[in-house]
Amino acid sequence: MAENEENNQAAPAAPGTEQPQGPQFALQRIYLKDSSFESPRSPAVFQSQWTPKINFDIKTRSNKVNDDVYEVVLILTVEAQLDEQPAFLVEVHQAGIFTAKDFDDAQLEQLLATMCPNILFPYAREAVDAAVVKGSFPALMLSPINFDALYTQQKEAAAQQAAAGNGSAAEEAPAPEAAN
């Protein structure tokens, strides 16, 4: 009989009916905001031995769209040089719209600078590779990027500059370079 009495007690609320507690993060949309490809020396570039020097630049920017809604744009720029002349230049602006609610300012800054670019990077990498291949160049497989480490380096560099310059304006930390 005790078993029946336990079964008649009120059941816990169904999952999804409670309001989540604490900070909330969600991806709303990923989209290609801008893309360009240039091969200024075509077709002559195809007649040389393909041993390029690859320069890689990465930037992020974010802006508030609405309350708790942010657009983050990951900008990848890749330039291949052959014999000190440009073989191709590709730039991709991969963007996403994210909801970030109930984060303090420091957490929000880190989230927009690390988590969001981590989500966007595979899409941007694919867009860069597709443009390069469509330009008739060998596939360019960009290595994964540790956005957490980049964020930490940038914060440390800014703190060192602020300490050295006694509050003078901090410059952006240099972007990593990759050679393939």
For residue 79, what pLDDT is reported? 97
pLDDT in tens, 105-121: 999 999 999 999 999 99
Whole-model pTM over 0.85? no
**Alpha carbons 54 and 173: distance in angstroms, whole number:** 20
| CATH homologous superfamily of 22-165 | SecB-like (3.10.420.10)
pLDDT in tens, 56-88: 999 999 999 999 999 999 999 999 999 899 999
Three-class SS state of 143: coil
Query: CB–CB of 138/18 below 8 Å?
Result: no
